A and B are shown apart, each in its own frame.
Chain A
C-alpha cells in the first residue's frame, strides 16, 4: 500500500505532471480567499540601462549575481541555499560561482548569523539567508548583542558592516503563526543595525545592493507574497537605491498614508478608493528603511496634509507605527487636523484560518481613513 502511494508520487515526478488522485468530492474545492492586495508595478526605470522582466525573487537573484560577479570576497549561505533556496532566490548561483561561495549551512539560525558576523569581521562580504523571518529569533542574540554592537564596543576597531541578513517576511495567505510574521519592530529597537523592506522587484534589487554595500550590518526583509506575484522590468546591471530615504509615490493634499513592503500596495489602492469615493487626495509614502528611518520626508508630508494614517501587518502594540506616530506628534503637533490612525495587525499571533480577518486590508484602511477625514 505504501509502495502504491509512493509510486503515484514517483510517476508524477518522473512525468513532471500532476497526477490527480480521483477524490470524487464536491465538484469544486471551497473558494480560497482572494489576495488582499493588488500589486502596483512602477514604470520601467530608464536610468540604469537595459531591463528584463523579473519577479521579486528573480530580482533578488539578479542582485546576488551582480554581487558575486563583482566582489570576489562575497559569499552566500544559509539553509537550503545551495539548490536555490526554498523561495528560489539563489537558483543557479552555486553552479555559476562555485560551492565555496554559495553553500548550505547546518540547520541553525544562531550559527548562520554568528558565522556571518565572523565572515564580515574578517573583511569579506557576508550574505546570510534565514529561511523565514519567523525563524530569525534563535539568532536574536547574535544580531542584537553582537552584530549591532560590534563597531561601538570596539571603539570602531572591528565591525561587521559587510553583513547582510536576508529573510522572507510577511503574510502569504496561509502561513499561520510561523510563516507570516513581520518582526521589523523588534529590530527597530536595536541601535546599530539597519532594517530595510522593499515593495517591488525594482526596489528589491536596488535596496538589496545598497544593503550589501552599506558599511553597517543590515537586515533585509523580503515580502514573500510578492516573490512571484510582483513582476516588473528590472535593470540587469547593478544599481543602488539609497537607504533611509522614504519615497513619495503619489502626491496629495488631504491625508498622508505610510506603509512598507506589501502594505504599500494596499494603501495605494486605498488612495484611489479615497479619491473615487470620497474625493479625498492622499499622499502615499513607502518608508522602505525602517531603521534609521526618514523622519523628514514623513514630517514634511504631514505638515502639508495635516492627517496621517500608518499601516503595517505586524501587531499594533509596539509596532513601528507607534514610533512614527510619536515622532510626528512631536514634530507636527500644531499641523495635525485629526488623531494619527494606525491600521495594523491585531495583538494576537498570526492566525491561519482567520487571515482574511487579521490583515489590515484596504477596507480596514479605508474605514480608518474615513474616520480621520470626518474627525
Chain B
C-alpha cells in the first residue's frame, strides 16, 4: 500500500501537467459547445440548449470536411508507410556515403511545414510557377493546379507525403536495425529469397514500429491544418478543407467560438473512435494470431 501511495505521489506532477494541458481544455470545450458565444452575444457565452450539436449533425460542411480529412489521412499515411518502408530498406543496406544519404533524406522533415507549403504553392502557381513553366516549355499551356479540386487534392497529399516520408522512414530504419543480422543470415543460408526474408522475417519484426508510425502519422494527419491552410486555404470551393481548418475558420473568420469548440470536440471524438477502433481491431488480430500460433 505504501509503495502504491509513493508511486501515486511520484506520478502526481506528470498527471497534474496532463490535466492542465489536456483535461482542462477538453472540459472547457465541452462546456463551450453548449453555449452560444459569437458576435451576436457580444462574444459572451450564453447557454443555447445544445443548438450547436443539432447544427453540427445537419451541417453539410462539417460532414464533407470529415470525409475529406479522413480521405486525406488514409491516402497520405498509406503512401507514407509504403514509401517509408521502401526508403528505410534502401537506407539500411550498406552503401557508400550512407550517412550523408540518411542526413539528406531527413531534409524535408526538418523544413517547417509553412515554408514547405509556400514552396509548393509557388511551384504550382498559375502561370508563373516552375511546373507551369516546364509545361509551357514542352509546348503545353498553363494549368491552374490550385483552382481544380482534383489536382489541388493530389498535390496536398503529395506535399504531405514528401514532407513526412523521412519521419516514417527514420522510425522504420530504427526498427530494421533492431533485427539481428544473423537471423537474416540464417534464413539466407537456408535458401530464402529476398522477398521471403522481407515477408517472413523483416515485416513481422517490424510490426511494432509500423504500428507506432501509423499511430503517430494518423493522429497528425487527421488534425492537419498548417499544410492545407497555406497550400490551398481549403479551396477550391472547400474541396480540400479539413476539420481543423473548419474549426479555425469558425473561431477566427466567423467569430463563432461556441460552434468552433463544438467542431473541435466532435473532431476529437471522431479521432478517438477511429484510433480506438483501429487499436481494438489490431489487438484482436494480434490475439487471434497468437492463439493460432499456439494451436
Are A and B bound to each other? no
Residues of A whose CB lies within 8 Å of any CB of B are: none
Residues of B whose CB lies within 8 Å of any CB of A are: none
